[in-house]
Amino acid sequence: MTDPSRTNQEPTEEISFLKQRIQELEKSESDRKRAEAALRESEPEYRVFFEGINDAVFVHELDQEGLPGRFLQVNDVACRRLGYTREELLSLSPRDITMTEEYERIAYKRTGLASQGEILVETVHVTKDGRKLPVESNIRQFQYFDRQVALSISRDISDRKRMEEELLRAHKLESLGVLAGGIAHDFNNLMAIVQGYIELALIDLPAGHTSHQRLLAAMQCVEQTTDLTSRLITFSRGGGPNREILDVAELIRDAVYRTVKGTNVMVKSAFAENLWPVEVDELQIKQCFYNLTMNALEAMPEGGNLTIQMENTLILTGAVLDLKEGSYLKITFADEGIGIPEEHLSKVFDPYFTTKKMAAQKGLGLGLAVCYSILKKHDGHITVKSQPGKGASFVLYLPARVDLARGKKVKKIVSTGTARVLIMDDEPHIREIERAYLEQMGYEVADVKDGQEAIDAYKKALDAGNPFDLVMLDLTVRQGLGGQLAMEQLLKIDPEIKAIIASGYVDHPVIENHVDYGFQGVLTKPFKGEEIKGMVEKILHGEG
């Protein structure tokens, strides 16, 4: 028999349960509607962020392994930077816009996205027209309705990469400088001896002697070594230029036209009027122009045009990498040669980078690196643009001195005279050569091997009432007191002393700023007899 109380209770419980379930469903539906309404309301804010950010934004699918699928959404910046329309990008995936080797490299990082939730990677995107764009991408995984997707915000880091390359290049140059400075000094000392003995032999031999022409040929070879050491010295640390106010147009004519003479390359120049003057090191800048010209000749073995343009330009902050805001002289060397592949453009200024075969006069990989170093030391800059088969264009920027008049003044020293000269050098061969030079000029000469002997000899002569009129000191001495420290003592003995500092270390601070150390002149090894004569007479006549 059925229990009446139970029969009445069960429907009541069922009805109550059904009512509760209906309420839950109504609440769930209400929550869903509120969520949809909130999503609709937040969409404008989302769009402002999505389209207003200055970085490229991508939303793409993720497979079960965390690897990316096709794009679901992209912003205008992504389309503009990559060169695609929105419809084109939405038919692609991250694999399609990433360099293959870069995609494979970072694929393993993406597989851990689910566990990490967010990753930061550097990679290279490829634009529609094939350009490579370095980017830093912040990738985050999240739930998008019923599927897992990834949001990738990619920032263009081209400028940062260029700055890193500049810093790396500077470190390379600095490392080379440590080696280059020592090599250049020792090499210059040896060449000073070789050149000196050859020059003295030429003086002693009659012009018609059979060995005269051979010695002249040997002298020319020695002079060519100056080019090599000047390249090495350019890399040595602290090698600041000895600046003068010069007419760059004249330097170009001297360096470029002489270099292309006898070749099938034609030079076309377009120099603006009223060009601003610049303060430059004549030898270094001419070396730069020579190197760029040689680069053009090698790029155009069948001939062509080398176009050189010069104009005044104002640079704003950030307009050209590594340049301060100000007035500059802009010089462009443009050839019609074979061009430079894109993968080599970032390396052309690196020391010892070359694609040329090794040969006697090319393939050393120093020419453009020297140009880069010279421009940096002048507070300038050099850039390159090129496409294979369409030539190359090198643009140089030199700080202009708008406040200074153009031109340089040159004084010629033609007078002769007699005086007492004291030589200090630890190389006996160099002392012998310098003594021979000076004695042939009619000077009375004494020589010593180190700074302490020079101090003693100078003081003794001064006390005896027969002082030296000039001292020539070698900067570095292997054992003993060098020229810098010796000069400090000599200045205490005689504040009016006249002195020349000589060295193969042409990038040493004492050489670059010799006046600050009490010297009236500088001789860089190797030097010729006429250089010694000109320097000595210049100083003895109060023009140092």
How many angstroms separate the Cα of 95 from the Cα of each of 72, 91, 101, 158, 428? 14, 12, 10, 20, 71
In sequence order, the β-bridge partners of residue 56 are 154
- 393-402 CB burial, b ≥16 within 10 A, e <16: bbbbbbbbbe
- 161-235 adopts what CATH topology? Helix Hairpins (1.10.287)
Sorted by sequence, the CB contacts under 8 Å of residue 235 that are 6+ apart come out as 173, 176, 177, 180, 351, 369, 370, 373
Q: Are 393 and 446 in contact (CB under 8 A)?
A: no
Q: What is the pLDDT of residue 310?
A: 94
H or E, element range at 518: none
Inter-residue contact 511 to 475 (CB < 8 Å)? yes
| CATH 3.30.450.20 corresponds to the domain 53-156 | yes
Tokens of 113: 């996205």
Judged against a pLDDT cut of 70, whether residue 163 lies above it is answered with yes
Q: Which of 227, 224, 218 is nearest to 197 (CA)?
A: 218
Q: Which residue, 313, 332, 336, is CA-closest to 400?
A: 313
Find the length of the chain: 544
Whole-number pLDDT of residue 304: 92
Contacts of 403 (CB under 8 A, 6+ apart): none
Mind listing the pLDDT tens digit for each residue in 509-518? 888 888 999 9
Ranked by mean pLDDT, the top range of 117-131, 375-389, 398-412, 481-495 is: 481-495
Task: Label residue 26 by pLDDT band (50, 70, 90).
Answer: low
Q: Is a pLDDT exceeding 50 seen at residue 459? A: yes
Q: What gap in Å lies between CA 234 and CA 287, rounded to an integer?
A: 10
The per-residue pLDDT for range 368-417, each reduced to its tens digit, is 887 888 888 888 999 899 888 889 999 999 999 887 644 444 333 333 44
DSSP character for 115?
Answer: H
Distances (CA, A) of 1 to 4, 9, 12: 9, 16, 21
Please name the amino acid found at residue 539: I
The CATH number given to 420-540 is 3.40.50.2300
Whether 300 and 335 have beta carbons less than 8 Å apart is answered as: yes
**Residue 144: other Cβ atoms inside 10 A:** 15
3-state helix, strand, coil in the chain (%, to 5): 45, 20, 30
Q: Which of 277, 510, 261 is nearest to 402 (CA)?
A: 277
Q: How confident is the model at residue 60 (pLDDT cuts 50, 70, 90)?
A: confident
Q: What is the pLDDT of residue 328?
A: 92
Half-sphere exposure of 198 (CA within 13 A, CB side): 22
HEC profile for 458-494?
Answer: HHHHHHCCCCCCEEEEECCCCCCCCHHHHHHHHHHHC
pLDDT band at 366 (very low <50, low <70, confident <90, very high): low
Q: Amino acid letter at 423? A: I
Domain ranges of the chain: 53-156, 161-235, 244-399, 420-540
Superfamily classification of domain 244-399: Histidine kinase-like ATPase, C-terminal domain (3.30.565.10)
| 275 SS3 class | coil
The residue among 112 and 281 whose pLDDT is bigger is 281
pTM (2 decimals)?
Answer: 0.47
Angle between helices 212-235 and 158-204 (to 10 degrees): 150
Please tell me the distance from the alpha carbon of residue 50 to that of residue 493, in angstroms, as a whole number: 77
Residue 446: the pLDDT is 93
CA distance 283 to 237: 18
Continuous segment of H or E residues that includes residue 352 = none
